[in-house]
Amino acid sequence: MDQYKEEKKRIRLVRADITKLSVDAIVNAANESLLGGGGVDGAIHSAAGPDLLRACAALKGCKTGQAKITPGFQLPAKYVIHTVGPVYRGGMNKESELLASCYQSSLAVASHNNVNTIAFPSISTGVYGYPIEEACRIAIVETLRYLSGHSEITEVTFVCFSDRDLKIYERAMTEF
Binding site for ligand APR (CB under 6 A): 17-19, 29-31, 37-43, 85, 121-128, 159, 161, 165
Give whichever of 31 and 101 is closer to ligand APR, judged by the CB atom: 31
Give whichever of 69 and 157 is closer to ligand APR, judged by the CB atom: 157
Written as one letter, the residue type at 34 is L
Q: How far is the CB of 3 from ligand APR (least distance, A)?
A: 27
Q: How far is the CB of 83 from ligand APR (least distance, A)?
A: 9
- Give the sheet arrangement for strand 67-71, strand by strand: 11-15, 155-160, 117-120, 25-30, 79-84, 67-71
Contact 47, 32 (CB under 8 A): no
Give whichever of 98 and 123 is closer to ligand APR, judged by the CB atom: 123
- Minimal CB distance residue for ligand APR: 37
Residue from 7, 53, 26, 71 nearest 161 by CA: 26
Q: How far is the CB of 6 from ligand APR (least distance, A)?
A: 27
Give the DSSP per-residue string, 63-80: -TT-EEEEE-TTSSSSEE
